Amino acid sequence: MMVVGLGNPGPEYECSRHNVGFLVVDELARRGKAGPFQVRFDSFYLRARIHGEEVLLVKPQSFMNASGRPVRAWLDALQLLPSRLIVVHDDLDLPLGRLKVTRGGGHGGHRGVRSLQEALGTSDFPRVKVGICRPPAGLDPVAYVLAPFDPAEAEEAAAAIGSAADAVEMVVVRSLEAAQNRFNVRSKEWVSREVKA
């Protein structure tokens, strides 16, 4: 199994909203006491164990809109089908901190996901989407996703990163369906927030 977190390389993007995929992979590496990351196929990577299951953790360093190229190289080298891939990325259409575990579907305007789908020739791979919420009115969406979380968002963002790592672990150890049943449930708290918005 291969887990890919999407993001942009470089310290200026390190804690940006668009880099939550990298942050989730870092959390999985921390939990697995794995490291340091090595470099291959224009990616940072390492092998880790998730509850006894060996996984490859990958952070493409090709910039978001070219993520498909290194991921394709990894799948070819390991002779893995895209179905053995779990992709973690941010999602503007989900409220901050909310997760959605899916398989297939469109890219929804996400350039990293679009690059993967084009490079792999399929959308048939599991994804863990991490909500970062739409920007306030008048704020450029590109500037918004490339900016760090506001201090007021930090606690909720950190909790979401931990929950997304939990979701990846559940997909690896149990199944996609188990993770969907656990993490796609709209709680009363989320419904209340959306009604008030």
What is the block-wise mean pLDDT of the chain (197 residues), using blocks of 10 residues? 96 92 96 90 94 94 95 96 95 93 90 95 95 88 91 93 96 94 69 42
- Enumerate the domain spans of the chain: 2-196
Query: How many Å apart are CA 58 and CA 44, to the nearest integer?
Result: 6
Is there a cis peptide before residue 36, judged by omega within 30 degrees of 0?
yes
The torsion region of residue 51 among left (phi > 0), alpha (psi -120 to 50) and beta comes to: left
Residue 18 catalytic?
A: yes
* Confidence at residue 190, expressed as pLDDT on a 0 to 100 scale: 43
* Confidence at residue 186, expressed as pLDDT on a 0 to 100 scale: 61
Q: How many CA atoms lie within 13 A of 5 on its CB side?
A: 30
* Confidence at residue 109, expressed as pLDDT on a 0 to 100 scale: 85
Contact 120, 75 (CB under 8 A): yes
* Confidence at residue 166, expressed as pLDDT on a 0 to 100 scale: 96
Q: Which of 18, 89, 107, 110 is catalytic?
A: 18
Q: CA gyration radius for the chain?
A: 16
* Confidence at residue 197, expressed as pLDDT on a 0 to 100 scale: 40
Domain 2-196 in CATH 3.10.110.10? The answer is no
User: In Å, how far from its chain's centre is CA 26?
Assistant: 11
Q: Nearest CA to 161 among 117, 131, 191?
A: 131
pTM summary value = 0.90
Q: Give the tens place of pLDDT for each residue, 130-150.
A: 999 988 888 888 899 999 999
